Amino acid sequence: MRILGIETSCDETGVAIYDDERGLLADRLYSQVKLHADYGGVVPELASRDHVRKTVPLIQAAMAQAGLTPKDIDGVAYTAGPGLIGALLVGATIGRSLAMAWNVPAVAVHHMEGHLLAPMLEDNPPAFPFVALLVSGGHTQLISVTGIGQYQLLGESIDDAAGEAFDKTAKLLGLDYPGGPMLSKMAQSGSADRFTFPRPMTDRPGLDFSFSGLKTYAANTVRQSGDDEQTKADIARAFEDAVVDTLAIKCRRALDQTGFTRLVMAGGVSANRTLRKKLAEMMAARGGEVFYARPEFCTDNGAMIAYAGMVRLKAGEHADLPVIVRPRWPLEELPQVSAG
Protein backbone atom coordinates (compact mmCIF):
# COMPACT_ATOMS: atom_id res chain seq x y z
CA MET A 1 0.00 0.00 0.00
CA ARG A 2 1.37 3.40 -1.04
CA ILE A 3 0.07 6.47 0.78
CA LEU A 4 0.51 10.13 -0.11
CA GLY A 5 0.74 12.23 3.07
CA ILE A 6 0.06 15.98 3.22
CA GLU A 7 0.92 18.16 6.25
CA THR A 8 -0.22 21.82 6.38
CA SER A 9 -1.16 22.41 10.02
CA CYS A 10 1.00 25.47 10.66
CA ASP A 11 4.08 26.94 8.96
CA GLU A 12 5.57 23.95 7.14
CA THR A 13 4.28 22.33 3.99
CA GLY A 14 5.19 18.65 4.05
CA VAL A 15 4.49 15.98 1.44
CA ALA A 16 5.67 12.37 1.52
CA ILE A 17 4.90 8.96 0.04
CA TYR A 18 5.08 5.87 2.25
CA ASP A 19 5.02 2.25 1.10
CA ASP A 20 4.11 -0.34 3.73
CA GLU A 21 6.67 -2.77 2.25
CA ARG A 22 9.48 -0.49 1.04
CA GLY A 23 9.20 2.31 3.56
CA LEU A 24 9.55 6.00 2.74
CA LEU A 25 9.72 6.57 -1.02
CA ALA A 26 9.69 10.39 -1.13
CA ASP A 27 9.79 13.25 1.34
CA ARG A 28 9.49 16.95 0.52
CA LEU A 29 9.29 19.89 2.92
CA TYR A 30 9.01 23.65 2.58
CA SER A 31 9.45 25.83 5.67
CA GLN A 32 7.85 29.25 5.99
CA VAL A 33 10.33 30.48 8.61
CA LYS A 34 11.64 33.35 6.49
CA LEU A 35 8.09 34.40 5.62
CA HIS A 36 7.09 34.84 9.27
CA ALA A 37 10.44 35.98 10.71
CA ASP A 38 9.70 39.70 10.26
CA TYR A 39 6.56 39.31 12.38
CA GLY A 40 8.18 37.36 15.22
CA GLY A 41 5.69 34.51 14.87
CA VAL A 42 3.33 32.71 12.52
CA VAL A 43 0.76 34.90 10.75
CA PRO A 44 -2.16 32.51 10.01
CA GLU A 45 -3.38 34.19 6.82
CA LEU A 46 0.12 34.30 5.32
CA ALA A 47 0.63 30.66 6.28
CA SER A 48 -2.56 29.61 4.52
CA ARG A 49 -1.72 31.50 1.34
CA ASP A 50 1.75 30.01 1.21
CA HIS A 51 0.38 26.49 1.61
CA VAL A 52 -1.87 27.20 -1.40
CA ARG A 53 1.20 28.08 -3.45
CA LYS A 54 3.48 25.29 -2.30
CA THR A 55 1.40 22.14 -1.69
CA VAL A 56 0.67 21.06 -5.27
CA PRO A 57 4.26 21.66 -6.53
CA LEU A 58 5.56 19.63 -3.58
CA ILE A 59 3.17 16.80 -4.43
CA GLN A 60 4.40 16.84 -8.01
CA ALA A 61 8.02 16.82 -6.78
CA ALA A 62 7.36 13.90 -4.41
CA MET A 63 5.67 11.87 -7.14
CA ALA A 64 8.63 12.51 -9.45
CA GLN A 65 11.12 11.63 -6.71
CA ALA A 66 9.38 8.29 -6.13
CA GLY A 67 8.92 7.67 -9.87
CA LEU A 68 5.18 7.16 -9.41
CA THR A 69 1.99 8.17 -11.21
CA PRO A 70 -1.45 8.69 -9.64
CA LYS A 71 -2.33 5.09 -10.57
CA ASP A 72 0.37 3.92 -8.13
CA ILE A 73 -1.19 5.68 -5.12
CA ASP A 74 -3.57 3.65 -2.91
CA GLY A 75 -4.70 6.41 -0.56
CA VAL A 76 -4.25 10.02 0.51
CA ALA A 77 -3.69 11.10 4.12
CA TYR A 78 -3.90 14.71 5.25
CA THR A 79 -3.63 16.54 8.55
CA ALA A 80 -7.11 17.48 9.77
CA GLY A 81 -6.09 18.97 13.12
CA PRO A 82 -5.13 20.31 15.50
CA GLY A 83 -3.62 23.42 13.93
CA LEU A 84 -4.46 26.70 12.20
CA ILE A 85 -7.87 26.28 10.58
CA GLY A 86 -7.00 28.05 7.34
CA ALA A 87 -3.78 26.10 6.93
CA LEU A 88 -5.54 22.82 7.71
CA LEU A 89 -8.22 23.53 5.10
CA VAL A 90 -5.62 23.88 2.36
CA GLY A 91 -4.16 20.42 2.87
CA ALA A 92 -7.54 18.85 3.56
CA THR A 93 -9.21 20.18 0.43
CA ILE A 94 -6.24 19.31 -1.80
CA GLY A 95 -5.98 15.86 -0.27
CA ARG A 96 -9.67 15.12 -0.61
CA SER A 97 -9.76 16.46 -4.17
CA LEU A 98 -6.85 14.26 -5.22
CA ALA A 99 -8.36 11.20 -3.56
CA MET A 100 -11.64 11.78 -5.39
CA ALA A 101 -9.91 12.40 -8.73
CA TRP A 102 -7.70 9.32 -8.32
CA ASN A 103 -10.58 7.19 -7.00
CA VAL A 104 -8.73 6.17 -3.82
CA PRO A 105 -9.72 6.53 -0.15
CA ALA A 106 -8.70 9.54 1.93
CA VAL A 107 -8.07 9.60 5.67
CA ALA A 108 -7.98 12.52 8.10
CA VAL A 109 -4.91 12.29 10.34
CA HIS A 110 -4.46 13.75 13.81
CA HIS A 111 -1.33 15.89 13.79
CA MET A 112 -0.16 14.76 17.23
CA GLU A 113 -0.70 11.10 16.41
CA GLY A 114 1.58 11.73 13.44
CA HIS A 115 4.27 13.03 15.80
CA LEU A 116 3.68 10.21 18.26
CA LEU A 117 4.17 7.60 15.52
CA ALA A 118 7.14 9.33 13.83
CA PRO A 119 9.69 7.11 15.66
CA MET A 120 8.05 4.16 13.87
CA LEU A 121 9.78 5.42 10.72
CA GLU A 122 13.18 4.49 12.19
CA ASP A 123 15.05 1.19 11.93
CA ASN A 124 14.50 0.46 15.64
CA PRO A 125 10.86 1.38 16.28
CA PRO A 126 9.42 1.18 19.81
CA ALA A 127 7.09 -1.65 20.80
CA PHE A 128 3.92 -1.05 22.80
CA PRO A 129 3.35 -0.11 25.54
CA PHE A 130 5.28 3.10 26.18
CA VAL A 131 5.04 6.55 27.70
CA ALA A 132 5.08 9.29 25.06
CA LEU A 133 6.36 12.79 25.70
CA LEU A 134 4.87 15.03 23.01
CA VAL A 135 6.75 18.30 23.23
CA SER A 136 6.48 21.05 20.63
CA GLY A 137 5.63 24.70 20.14
CA GLY A 138 1.94 24.05 20.74
CA HIS A 139 1.84 20.97 22.97
CA THR A 140 3.52 19.47 26.01
CA GLN A 141 1.83 16.21 26.95
CA LEU A 142 2.59 12.91 28.64
CA ILE A 143 0.55 10.03 27.24
CA SER A 144 0.23 6.37 28.10
CA VAL A 145 0.28 4.46 24.79
CA THR A 146 -0.75 0.81 24.73
CA GLY A 147 -1.55 0.62 21.01
CA ILE A 148 -2.63 2.70 18.00
CA GLY A 149 -5.52 4.82 19.21
CA GLN A 150 -5.10 3.55 22.78
CA TYR A 151 -4.05 6.80 24.37
CA GLN A 152 -4.50 8.03 27.93
CA LEU A 153 -3.51 11.61 28.75
CA LEU A 154 -1.39 11.59 31.91
CA GLY A 155 -0.45 15.26 32.06
CA GLU A 156 -0.14 18.40 29.95
CA SER A 157 0.88 22.03 30.10
CA ILE A 158 -1.66 24.29 31.77
CA ASP A 159 -0.26 27.36 29.97
CA ASP A 160 2.68 27.76 27.57
CA ALA A 161 3.99 24.67 25.84
CA ALA A 162 7.73 24.01 26.23
CA GLY A 163 8.51 25.00 22.64
CA GLU A 164 6.49 28.18 22.99
CA ALA A 165 8.42 29.06 26.16
CA PHE A 166 11.69 28.45 24.32
CA ASP A 167 10.67 30.83 21.51
CA LYS A 168 9.41 33.53 23.89
CA THR A 169 12.55 33.38 26.03
CA ALA A 170 14.70 33.51 22.91
CA LYS A 171 12.91 36.70 21.92
CA LEU A 172 13.76 38.17 25.34
CA LEU A 173 17.39 37.43 24.53
CA GLY A 174 17.15 39.25 21.20
CA LEU A 175 17.12 36.14 19.02
CA ASP A 176 15.16 35.97 15.77
CA TYR A 177 12.10 33.76 15.21
CA PRO A 178 12.00 30.82 15.60
CA GLY A 179 14.30 31.27 18.55
CA GLY A 180 14.14 27.91 20.28
CA PRO A 181 16.94 26.21 18.31
CA MET A 182 19.01 29.41 18.46
CA LEU A 183 18.58 29.58 22.24
CA SER A 184 19.79 25.98 22.53
CA LYS A 185 22.85 26.80 20.43
CA MET A 186 23.56 29.86 22.59
CA ALA A 187 23.19 27.76 25.74
CA GLN A 188 26.14 25.59 24.69
CA SER A 189 28.53 28.43 25.56
CA GLY A 190 26.72 29.32 28.80
CA SER A 191 27.84 28.57 32.34
CA ALA A 192 25.81 26.06 34.33
CA ASP A 193 26.76 27.69 37.65
CA ARG A 194 25.85 31.36 37.26
CA PHE A 195 22.04 31.20 37.30
CA THR A 196 19.65 28.64 38.73
CA PHE A 197 16.09 28.72 37.41
CA PRO A 198 13.14 26.99 39.11
CA ARG A 199 11.84 23.61 37.97
CA PRO A 200 8.13 24.50 37.82
CA MET A 201 5.50 22.19 39.35
CA THR A 202 8.07 19.57 40.37
CA ASP A 203 7.64 20.29 44.08
CA ARG A 204 4.11 18.85 44.06
CA PRO A 205 2.50 15.61 42.89
CA GLY A 206 1.12 15.26 39.40
CA LEU A 207 2.21 15.19 35.78
CA ASP A 208 1.01 18.57 34.51
CA PHE A 209 3.44 21.24 33.29
CA SER A 210 3.65 25.02 33.53
CA PHE A 211 6.26 27.07 31.71
CA SER A 212 4.83 30.61 31.69
CA GLY A 213 6.33 31.38 35.10
CA LEU A 214 9.72 30.16 33.94
CA LYS A 215 9.53 32.59 31.02
CA THR A 216 8.71 35.41 33.46
CA TYR A 217 11.66 34.38 35.65
CA ALA A 218 13.88 34.57 32.59
CA ALA A 219 12.52 38.04 31.72
CA ASN A 220 13.29 39.30 35.23
CA THR A 221 16.79 37.79 35.09
CA VAL A 222 17.47 39.48 31.75
CA ARG A 223 16.30 42.83 33.12
CA GLN A 224 18.41 42.57 36.28
CA SER A 225 21.60 41.06 34.84
CA GLY A 226 22.43 43.04 31.71
CA ASP A 227 22.56 42.02 28.08
CA ASP A 228 26.19 41.22 27.26
CA GLU A 229 26.64 38.09 25.18
CA GLN A 230 28.03 35.91 27.97
CA THR A 231 25.17 36.84 30.29
CA LYS A 232 22.70 35.96 27.56
CA ALA A 233 24.41 32.61 27.06
CA ASP A 234 24.34 31.94 30.81
CA ILE A 235 20.63 32.75 30.96
CA ALA A 236 19.96 30.54 27.95
CA ARG A 237 21.82 27.68 29.65
CA ALA A 238 19.90 28.13 32.91
CA PHE A 239 16.58 28.24 31.07
CA GLU A 240 17.28 25.18 28.93
CA ASP A 241 18.53 23.19 31.92
CA ALA A 242 15.36 24.07 33.85
CA VAL A 243 13.06 22.95 31.03
CA VAL A 244 15.01 19.75 30.38
CA ASP A 245 15.15 18.84 34.08
CA THR A 246 11.42 19.51 34.44
CA LEU A 247 10.57 17.31 31.47
CA ALA A 248 12.84 14.54 32.76
CA ILE A 249 11.34 14.63 36.26
CA LYS A 250 7.81 14.38 34.90
CA CYS A 251 8.81 11.55 32.52
CA ARG A 252 10.28 9.63 35.44
CA ARG A 253 7.04 10.04 37.37
CA ALA A 254 4.99 8.88 34.38
CA LEU A 255 7.14 5.78 33.98
CA ASP A 256 6.83 5.02 37.70
CA GLN A 257 3.05 5.47 37.50
CA THR A 258 2.56 3.23 34.46
CA GLY A 259 5.32 0.72 35.11
CA PHE A 260 6.41 0.98 31.47
CA THR A 261 10.07 0.58 30.50
CA ARG A 262 9.97 2.43 27.18
CA LEU A 263 9.83 6.19 26.62
CA VAL A 264 9.08 7.86 23.29
CA MET A 265 9.60 11.57 22.75
CA ALA A 266 8.29 13.37 19.71
CA GLY A 267 7.60 16.86 18.43
CA GLY A 268 9.91 19.72 17.55
CA VAL A 269 11.56 20.03 20.98
CA SER A 270 12.48 16.34 20.90
CA ALA A 271 15.31 17.32 18.54
CA ASN A 272 16.97 19.20 21.43
CA ARG A 273 20.33 17.54 22.08
CA THR A 274 20.40 18.34 25.79
CA LEU A 275 16.96 16.78 26.26
CA ARG A 276 17.96 13.67 24.29
CA LYS A 277 21.10 13.22 26.38
CA LYS A 278 19.25 13.73 29.66
CA LEU A 279 16.49 11.24 28.85
CA ALA A 280 18.95 8.69 27.44
CA GLU A 281 20.95 8.81 30.67
CA MET A 282 17.78 8.52 32.74
CA MET A 283 16.45 5.54 30.80
CA ALA A 284 19.83 3.78 30.86
CA ALA A 285 19.92 4.14 34.65
CA ARG A 286 16.41 2.64 34.82
CA GLY A 287 17.29 -0.24 32.50
CA GLY A 288 14.80 1.04 29.92
CA GLU A 289 14.93 2.53 26.43
CA VAL A 290 14.18 5.91 24.89
CA PHE A 291 13.06 6.33 21.28
CA TYR A 292 12.80 9.35 19.02
CA ALA A 293 12.74 10.21 15.34
CA ARG A 294 15.63 11.65 13.38
CA PRO A 295 15.72 15.48 13.70
CA GLU A 296 14.00 16.15 10.36
CA PHE A 297 11.04 14.03 11.46
CA CYS A 298 10.73 15.77 14.84
CA THR A 299 9.37 18.97 13.32
CA ASP A 300 6.22 18.95 11.16
CA ASN A 301 6.61 16.75 8.07
CA GLY A 302 4.63 14.75 5.56
CA ALA A 303 6.30 11.42 6.35
CA MET A 304 4.65 11.09 9.75
CA ILE A 305 1.25 11.89 8.22
CA ALA A 306 1.73 9.34 5.45
CA TYR A 307 2.70 6.67 7.99
CA ALA A 308 -0.17 7.43 10.38
CA GLY A 309 -2.56 7.51 7.44
CA MET A 310 -1.29 4.16 6.20
CA VAL A 311 -1.94 2.57 9.59
CA ARG A 312 -5.51 3.85 9.74
CA LEU A 313 -6.33 3.15 6.08
CA LYS A 314 -5.16 -0.45 6.51
CA ALA A 315 -7.53 -0.67 9.49
CA GLY A 316 -10.41 0.33 7.23
CA GLU A 317 -10.78 3.98 8.18
CA HIS A 318 -11.56 6.65 5.61
CA ALA A 319 -12.85 10.21 5.60
CA ASP A 320 -16.51 10.92 4.86
CA LEU A 321 -17.44 13.25 2.01
CA PRO A 322 -17.59 16.55 3.97
CA VAL A 323 -14.20 18.20 4.46
CA ILE A 324 -13.88 18.71 8.22
CA VAL A 325 -10.86 20.11 10.05
CA ARG A 326 -10.48 20.57 13.79
CA PRO A 327 -8.24 23.34 15.18
CA ARG A 328 -8.66 21.64 18.58
CA TRP A 329 -8.81 17.86 18.69
CA PRO A 330 -8.10 15.80 21.84
CA LEU A 331 -5.87 12.85 21.02
CA GLU A 332 -7.91 10.58 23.27
CA GLU A 333 -10.91 10.91 20.94
CA LEU A 334 -9.20 8.88 18.20
CA PRO A 335 -10.62 5.40 17.57
CA GLN A 336 -8.58 2.39 18.53
CA VAL A 337 -6.89 0.32 15.83
CA SER A 338 -7.00 -3.37 16.64
CA ALA A 339 -3.79 -5.35 16.47
CA GLY A 340 -3.30 -7.16 13.18
- Tell me how far the alpha carbon of residue 53 is from its chain's centroid: 23
What's the Cα-to-Cα distance from 204 to each of 157, 197, 208, 235, 318, rounded to whole Å?
15, 17, 10, 25, 43
Determine whether the annotation assigns residue 139 to a binding site.
no
Determine whether the annotation assigns residue 135 to a binding site.
yes
Tens digit of each residue's pLDDT, the chain (340 residues): 999 999 999 999 999 999 999 999 999 999 999 999 989 899 999 999 999 999 999 999 999 999 999 999 999 999 999 999 999 999 999 999 999 999 999 999 999 999 999 999 999 999 999 999 999 988 999 999 999 999 999 999 999 999 999 999 999 999 988 899 999 999 999 999 999 999 999 999 999 999 999 999 999 999 999 889 999 999 999 999 999 999 999 999 999 999 999 999 999 999 999 999 999 999 999 999 999 999 999 999 999 999 999 999 999 999 988 999 999 999 999 999 975 4
Determine whether the annotation assigns residue 222 to a binding site.
no
Determine whether the annotation assigns residue 111 to a binding site.
yes
Dihedral sign of CA atoms 5, 294, 119, 256 in order:
negative
User: How high is the pLDDT of residue 118?
Assistant: 98
Q: Where are the alpha helices (DSSP H) in 72-120?
A: 85-102, 111-117
Q: How far apart are CA 287 and CA 63, in angstroms?
A: 43
Q: How far apart are CA 232 and CA 238, in angstroms?
A: 10
User: How high is the pLDDT of residue 137?
Assistant: 86
Q: Are 30 and 41 in contact (CB under 8 A)?
A: no
User: How high is the pLDDT of residue 339?
Assistant: 58
Q: Are 209 and 140 in contact (CB under 8 A)?
A: yes
Determine whether the annotation assigns residue 42 to a binding site.
no
User: How high is the pLDDT of residue 23?
Assistant: 97
Determine whether the annotation assigns residue 180 to a binding site.
yes
CB atoms within 10 A of CB 44: 15
Instruction: Please report, as a single letter, which amino acid is at residue 190.
Output: G
Q: Are 156 and 141 in contact (CB under 8 A)?
A: yes
User: How high is the pLDDT of residue 178?
Assistant: 86
Instruction: Please report, as a single letter, which amino acid is at residue 253.
Output: R
Determine whether the annotation assigns residue 214 to a binding site.
no
Burial 265-290 (b: 16+ CB within 10 A, else e): bbbbbbbbebbbebbeebbeeeeebb
Q: What is the pTM of this model?
A: 0.95
Domains and CATH numbers, the chain: 2-117+297-333 (3.30.420.40), 128-292 (3.30.420.40)
Helix-helix angle 273-286:180-187, to 10 degrees: 70
Q: How far apart are CA 234 and CA 106, in angstroms?
A: 49
Exposure on the CB side of residue 171, measured as CA atoms within 13 A: 14
Q: How far apart are CA 233 and CA 222, in angstroms?
A: 11
